[in-house]
Amino acid sequence: MSQPFITVFAVYDNMTHLDFTGPHQVLCRLPGAQTMIASRDGGDILAEGNLVIGRTSKLSDIEQCDLLCVPGGLTATQVALDEEFVGEVRRLGQGATYVTSVCTGSLILGAAGLLQGKRAACHWAWRELLTEFGAVIDESRVVRDGNTFTGGGVTAGIDFALTMVAEIAGEAFAKALTLGYEYAPAPPFPGGRPELAEAETLSAYNAHMSKLMDARRAEVHEAGERMRAQAGVA
């Protein structure tokens, strides 16, 4: 019998749950898949909106995986300072066939030293922070650089996951999943990227985000300094 294809989602409190649940719904359908949900301490995780993700495994108990995926969230820059969580992401990522993220999860990959010199995606409002970790900003919805696949903000997680399915199980299988999930996006308000949004919508959103960004930039700078010290990079 062939070995299972092990996918690990590294999750944490207050993550954006669609960053996790969207890709999980797709990737759990991979042939021979063994899909694991793991957190720093194991047990229940309380995602954004008080959604409980229950019975997670403990990251340190997982020996290895084929695909590591880190979702994003407004707390991603805080998690990037959690040395135990980041250390487990680094360990698993260094041995994985595929290292992946959705939205601001790429900032956590960066803090783990897994994006140095690599092109990477992130939610558009946060992607400038990738440079702190030596990553190259790519504005695409799904970005591949070697064995690293990163998705943009939230809903890009489904596009990312279907891209991964095509990579692992073939395009025909990915197309069948796309049909089975009736994945035919037609948003009621077609302004989901800054270049498509109305000026007043973009201005209001940026004003809201500006209240958060000073603290987030400081957290990312500290995480970047830790990453460089760990890697011995000046």
CA dist list (Å): 37 to 7, 24, 61, 112, 214: 8, 9, 12, 19, 31
* Catalytic hit among 28, 65, 69, 103: 103
Annotated active-site residue 69? The verdict is no
- Whether 93 and 62 have beta carbons less than 8 Å apart is answered as no
Handedness of CA 181, 183, 189, 193 (dihedral sign): positive
In sequence order, the β-bridge partners of residue 20 are none
The b-or-e profile of 114-153 (16+ CB within 10 A means b, else e) is bbeebbbbbbbbbbebbebbbbebbeeebbbbeebbbbbb
- Whether 7 and 66 have beta carbons less than 8 Å apart is answered as yes
HSE-CB for 93 with a 13 A CA cutoff? 25
Cite the active site residues. 103
